[in-house]
Amino acid sequence: MPEPTHCIFCKIARGTIPAIKVHEDGATLTFMDIQPASPGHALVIPRTHAANLFEIAEDELSVVARTVQRIARAMRKALAPDGIRIVQTNGAAAGQSVFHYHVHLIPMQDGQRIGAHGRAPADPEQLETLAMKVREALED
């Protein structure tokens, strides 16, 4: 499927819009959510555009799932959350606001309010610090 010119995640994947990257390879990109539900909230996307779970190719879905697992393990090591929420929504009725397949990884602490997004933009320096910790854990 061709990339829509208006897709913000396609623009991030192409590098035409900046993002605080955690990890990238030829098929996926992981970057920090700028309005995080909790510190360390990151998104994993395929580089190829697919609007949702129903449109993504099975082989690309498998690659995204492997990246999600790898990032979740690094988050657990680097950030020591009590748990990690893995969220993936399909369609506006389900809460999807960017129509490019993506998976949220949200580190959670006991007693923390559960939400898919935060209420305010995060401090970019804090995002970079958290991304660096997860990147370092990926390298170990």
For residue 32, report the phi and psi dihedrals to the nearest 5 degrees: -75, 140
- Is the Cβ–Cβ distance between 132 and 106 less than 8 Å? no
Sign of the torsion formed by the C-alpha atoms of 114, 119, 125 and 127: positive
- How far apart are alpha carbons 42 and 81 in whole angstroms? 14
Q: Which of 23, 41, 49, 102 is catalytic?
A: 102
- Is the Cβ–Cβ distance between 8 and 17 less than 8 Å? yes
Q: Is 43 exposed, middle or buried (0-12, 13-18, 19+ CB in 10 A)?
A: buried
Is 6 designated active site? no
Residue numbers annotated as active site: 102
